Chains A and B, each alone.
Chain A
């Protein structure tokens, strides 16, 4: 149940809350966390495919945001700023995991063998009896395909297609140029088109 205070806070802009955070107001930060925790968690989950890891990384991202909130100058939206932190934390984590795992996750030589576009897991023409099963199969295929992308490509495709962010926002969040964003998007799409052809052809 929403209290009067929370109803009033709904009208407060992110920037006002950030200003209060910069003065040490943890309640203001709490409000920002409430606004973005689901989106941040969802974004990370789509990058790492593990609820527990997504939870931990979202926690680390918000903690890092709190520690560096005084450096936020308002040149971008808070949303873009927090996404930059989220992406740094998540990409670092994925890279460390990749090193620990022997670097096989993004090995181009095995990716097409692992996710064969003509795989029997999702038949081309006939639907599985239960829609739920079909959806979970599709989801698994997409997750597998996304896992074949580099961390940067994952970030770009998810921010563009799921978050519907603009090129300049993605560039800001990833700390790279707009051209780099567009280039990564190009290769990410090509790879996903190859890996998921049989899936999207049926929709």
Chain B
């Protein structure tokens, strides 16, 4: 059973026919007023159709491009997306990174030691040895050590010593 609103709408849109149309029109208290309202409804329809024409979609190609990108992003398998989103520092990765860092550190250290300037090394040792000479016993004494790497020779040069200290030992 149609309500009055449904019948009225169908009548306005010309969707009633036959017996249904006759019954509805017969039920109208003022057919002239109803016809006037029908004309108004049609005018409204014309107005809406005329004024609400679809506005142009500017940048149509960009619209499609943007949509393609969004579809592509949404098509990435969820497992892959989860992997991307998950924390990078998993335990195996931490172990691997720690080992790699240690290896890099060792290699770097070895290279630094090998490349050390021999002259600097000798001067350093000389300073240590100088510190071992007792200034009271030998006030003018100096002890120097030189290392010549290519000849694999180390020279200990002493000068002005009255005697060697009893506990002297070049460690």
- Tell me whether B52 is interfacial, beta carbon within 8 Å: yes
Cβ–Cβ < 8 Å partners of B57 in chain A: 37-38, 41-42, 55, 58
Cβ–Cβ < 8 Å partners of A158 in chain B: 48, 52
Q: Across the interface, do B47 and A37 meet the contact criterion of CB distance under 8 Å?
A: no
Least CB distance from A3 to B in Å reads 14
Convert A191-203 into 0s and 1s, putting 1 for each residue whose CB lies closer than 8 angstroms to a CB of B.
0110010011101
Roughly how many angstroms separate A182 CA and B9 CA in the complex, as a whole number? 6
- Tell me whether A167 is interfacial, beta carbon within 8 Å: yes
Roughly how many angstroms separate A175 CA and B60 CA in the complex, as a whole number? 29
Q: Across the interface, do A29 and B71 meet the contact criterion of CB distance under 8 Å?
A: yes
Q: Name the CB-closest residue of A to B65.
A: A30
Q: Across the interface, do A30 and B68 meet the contact criterion of CB distance under 8 Å?
A: yes
Q: Across the interface, do B67 and A62 meet the contact criterion of CB distance under 8 Å?
A: yes
Q: Across the interface, do A200 and B52 meet the contact criterion of CB distance under 8 Å?
A: no
Cβ–Cβ < 8 Å partners of A182 in chain B: 2, 5-6, 9-10
- Tell me whether B86 is interfacial, beta carbon within 8 Å: no
Roughly how many angstroms separate A138 CA and B52 CA in the complex, as a whole number? 10
Q: Across the interface, do B54 and A161 meet the contact criterion of CB distance under 8 Å?
A: no
- Tell me whether B14 is interfacial, beta carbon within 8 Å: no
Given B45, B54, B64, B67, which contacts A42 in the complex, CB threshold below 8 Å?
Answer: B54
Roughly how many angstroms separate A138 CA and B46 CA in the complex, as a whole number? 13
Q: Name the CB-closest residue of B to A39.
A: B54
Given the interface contacts A59-B70, A161-B49, A186-B5, does A196 sit within 8 Å of B44 by beta carbon? yes
Roughly how many angstroms separate A103 CA and B70 CA in the complex, as a whole number? 32
Roughly how many angstroms separate A33 CA and B67 CA in the complex, as a whole number? 9
Total number of B residues with any Cβ neighbor in A under 8 Å? 37
Least CB distance from B1 to A in Å reads 10
Cβ–Cβ < 8 Å partners of A55 in chain B: 57, 63
- Tell me whether A162 is interfacial, beta carbon within 8 Å: yes
Least CB distance from A148 to B in Å reads 14
Convert B55-79 into 0s and 1s, putting 1 for each residue whose CB lies closer than 8 angstroms to a CB of A.
1110010011011101110100000
Given B9, B40, B56, B74, which contacts A186 in the complex, CB threshold below 8 Å?
Answer: B9
Q: Across the interface, do B40 and A200 meet the contact criterion of CB distance under 8 Å?
A: yes
Q: Across the interface, do A66 and B55 meet the contact criterion of CB distance under 8 Å?
A: no
Given B2, B10, B12, B60, which contacts A38 in the complex, CB threshold below 8 Å?
Answer: B60
Interface of B is mostly: helix
Give residues of chain B (1-27) contacting chain A, Cβ–Cβ below 8 Å. 2-3, 5-6, 8-10, 12-13, 15
Q: Across the interface, do B70 and A203 meet the contact criterion of CB distance under 8 Å?
A: no
Q: Across the interface, do A192 and B44 meet the contact criterion of CB distance under 8 Å?
A: yes
Given the interface contacts A42-B55, A45-B54, does A161 sit within 8 Å of B66 by beta carbon? no
Please give me the 7 A-B residue pairs with the lowest Cβ-Cβ distance, nearest first.
A42-B54, A186-B5, A182-B6, A182-B9, A41-B57, A200-B43, A161-B48
Which of A's residues lie within 8 Å of B, judged by CB?
26, 29-30, 33-34, 37-39, 41-43, 45-46, 51, 55, 58-59, 62-63, 66-67, 135, 138-139, 142, 157-158, 160-162, 167, 179, 182-183, 185-187, 189, 192-193, 196, 199-201, 203
Which of B's residues lie within 8 Å of A, judged by CB?
2-3, 5-6, 8-10, 12-13, 15, 40-41, 43-57, 60, 63-64, 66-68, 70-72, 74
> Could you pull out 28 A-B pairs where Cβ atoms are within 8 angstroms?
A26-B71, A33-B67, A37-B63, A39-B54, A42-B55, A42-B57, A46-B52, A46-B54, A138-B47, A139-B52, A142-B48, A142-B51, A157-B48, A161-B44, A162-B48, A162-B49, A162-B54, A179-B6, A185-B9, A186-B6, A186-B8, A187-B5, A189-B12, A192-B48, A193-B40, A200-B46, A200-B47, A201-B43
